[in-house]
Structure 1
Amino acid sequence: MKLNFISFCAFALLLVAAITIVSCQDEQSVEFNRYYSLGNVVYQTHCQNCHGVNGEGLLGLIPPLTDSIYLKNNRNQLACSVKYGLKGKLTIAGRSFEGVMPPNDLAPVDLAQVLTYVTNSFGNKAGIINITQIQTDLSNCK
């Protein structure tokens, strides 16, 4: 009986500690975690077949998503590239790729989630890309 009470107290303390840690996250961290985790699902559904589980791409055919410099320098064009596709020659990390990436008719929120996931996975750390940024970027597509 005494052991059950001690086990219950230990469990209660752990539960209180976990709740305290979760409740101490700021709103931006919670939003980032939500976008990132949902973006993983979008990536698995729409991107992983071509770009790979680890964003490695496919030899000279499909570019990798591991080049944080390319992603950073083209951040405002990423939503356009995913939504409307890409055609032609592309140079990433000194390697050339030529082909077609088909368009993905994703909603702006899905674009925000998947781009947050991609730009913070595979060695990338770029922070959140929120839906407001996606809407602005889409309105400026060339």
Structure 2
Amino acid sequence: MKLKVTGIIAILLVVIGASCQSDDQIEFKRYYSGGSLVYQQHCQNCHGDKGQGLSALIPPLTDSTYLKNNRRKLACIIKNGLKGKITVADRPFDDEMQADDISPIEIAKVLTYITNSFGNKMGTVTLQQVQNDLKNCQ
């Protein structure tokens, strides 16, 4: 009997805890989980399942400094691709990343996933941020 009561109390605490999430936490989880799917479909083949990249050909997504320093360019890189030399994790890369014709909301979700996975912790990248960043692509 004690075990049943303890089990019921534990379930109630989990339900109550889950219902006490803020709107920001719920939005983050929605973007993050959706971004995981977009990453698997569009990015993982080149950047790896752990964001490790591919040797000297494809940069890793584990360099939080690069991601932070280029935060406003990331949406443009995904949408338009990237040509030219870049340095990520103190290593040079000079291969071409192809453009990916995914929607701004998918870009926001995959950026939320990337910037909060692989050792990165940068918070939610919103649709509005992506739309603003895409207006400024060069």
SS in 2 for 1:75: coil
Count of residue pairs brought into register by the alignment: 138
Q: Which residue of 2 aligns with 1:32?
A: 28
- Do structure 1's residue 78 and structure 2's residue 74 form an aligned pair? yes
Which protein has the bigger strand share? 1
Q: Which residue of 2 aligns with 1:54?
A: 50
Aligned mates of 1:93, 1:50 — CA distance in 2: 17
Aligned mates of 2:127, 2:112 — CA distance in 1: 10
Mean alpha-carbon deviation: is it higher for 84-93 or for 68-77?
84-93
Q: Which runs of 5+ in 1 are unaligned?
A: none
CA RMSD of aligned residues (A): 1.2
Q: Kindly report which structure 2 residues correspond to 1:1-142, keeping only aligned pairs within 5 A, or say none.
A: 3=1, 8-142=4-138
Aligned mates of 2:93, 2:4 — CA distance in 1: 59
Structure (1 or 2) with the larger CA radius of gyration = 1
User: What TM-score results when the alignment is normalised by the length of structure 2?
Assistant: 0.95
Following superposition, the deviation at residue 9 of structure 1 comes to: 3.4
2:137 is matched by which residue type in structure 1? C
Aligned mates of 2:44, 2:107 — CA distance in 1: 15
Following superposition, the deviation at residue 77 of structure 1 comes to: 0.4
Following superposition, the deviation at residue 11 of structure 1 comes to: 3.7
Following superposition, the deviation at residue 12 of structure 1 comes to: 2.9
Following superposition, the deviation at residue 120 of structure 1 comes to: 0.6
Q: Which runs of 5+ in 2 are unaligned?
A: none
